[in-house]
Amino acid sequence: MPELQQDILIIGAGPAGLYAADLFSQRGHAVTIADRMASPARKFLMAGRGGLNLTHSEDLRSFLKRYRDAEAFLAPLIADFPPEALRTWCHDLGEETFVGSSGRVFPKAMKASPLLRAWLRRLDKNGVRLLTRHTMTGLSADGQVELTTDSGETKIFSARAVLLSLGGASWPKLGSDAAWVPLLEKHGIRVNRFQPANCGFEVPWSDYVKQRFAGQPLKRITLSLQGTTVRGTTVQGEALVSERGLEGGAVYALSAELREALNGTGKAGLELDLRPHFPQEELTRKLSSRPRGKQSAATFLKKALRLNPLELALLHETGALPDEPETLARRIKAIPIPVSAPYTIDRAISSAGGVALEEVDDQLMLKKLPGVFTAGEMLDWEAPTGGYLLQACFAMAHRAAGGLADHLAGGQGRAAI
């Protein structure tokens, strides 16, 4: 079995791995990237189909709060590679960016494919070698990485340093299947259980809602966590009713809190405000000022508040509608929606869990495997959608690349993997 000598070996051709390769190749290093998929950045491309949200323009203090428990870990990394640096990198590739009305940052082309093509052209020009259909199947303590091709051929790579950017466990068909977990656990590295993040949740809808309204959106609503008034647990946006439950941006923003509530007590729920721009008192006034007469409740509410059939159906999910205007207004402002479980991780946008943050040093090198660095979603952190996921992946790759460069400059030779 031949041993192939490498300078820098990167496992994983997602954004973190490709960005690190870009940095090193521009500095003249010989870089090889290996990925188990037939082409690079499959999940990146999928995420960019509806508009590639690269990062966000909000102030850095608010930005960092989005990372919840991982804020302290990610703050210095993002300070070193902030959103402005990511935009500059895109511009250097010839892809201009703009700030949308929501504050999110997109490339002007909107899609991921033009940016990826420019990115890969530069990597190719700088001599980066990309090995597709190569899966990491072994790590040894003497500095060797075992890669196996789809045809079953095994290759042993010996590198001066290695960067692992293997992704998490969401969308396994696009490359992130967490098959690497046992390879790290073999060396005593703690990997926390992967869980779905930025996902929908199962709701016990009535058969009527399932059959009549699955696939229909809820627009300009507010969702809140039941039983709490903690800041940050109320989100305005949109959601989508599915046969299984509720999904969409407003749900994703609360997915971490919902998941942890289910993990802790087995119970969790949302409150749906169908008219967030109207105070309850104003809704009560509107309902009181219009005589209902012989109209049905549905007809009355359609005329008084312009509630659509889906909204009316959700009001009925909790029982008969009250006649008293104040009580009815209260329900419109807070429809209880119990959730029983998150969608399965293969349908989640991202994942929580991964390599415990205590297992890496401040340069993202694995403490138990000197010379092996990590970056991206394979580490245990999570963030909402809105540009925060990609920004953190790039910032981690930037930090890991700096640490890897320091390691190489120290003349420590082959990585002890």
Digit-coded pLDDT (tens) for 160-190: 889 999 999 998 999 889 999 999 999 999 9
First to last CA, the chain: 19
Average pLDDT of the chain, as a whole number: 92
At 2 the pLDDT is: 46
Question: Model confidence at 341, in pLDDT bands (50, 70, 90)?
Answer: very high
Q: Where are the domains of the chain?
A: 3-197+350-409, 201-342
User: Among 12, 382, 355, 7, which Cα is nearest to 183's?
Assistant: 355
* Side chain identity, residue 87: R
- Write the burial class of residue 72 (CB in 10 Å: 0-12 exposed, 13-18 middle, 19+ buried): exposed
User: How high is the pLDDT of residue 293?
Assistant: 75
Q: 49 vs 243, which has greater pLDDT?
A: 243
Return the beta strands (E) in 306-384 as ranges. 335-339, 341-342, 350-355, 372-374
pTM: 0.91
Q: Which of 64-73, 140-149, 300-309, 312-321 bottoms out in mean pLDDT, i.e. has the lowest?
A: 140-149
So what's the pLDDT on residue 303? 85
Rounded CA-CA distance 45/38 in Å is 13
Per-residue pLDDT of 99-144, as tens digits, reads 999 999 999 999 999 999 999 999 999 999 999 999 999 988 766 8
Q: What percent of the chain has pLDDT over 90?
A: 80
Mean pLDDT of 252-260: 95
Looking at CATH, the fold of the domain delimited by 3-197+350-409 is given as FAD/NAD(P)-binding domain (3.50.50)
Contact in structure between 166 and 43 (CB atoms under 8 Å):
no
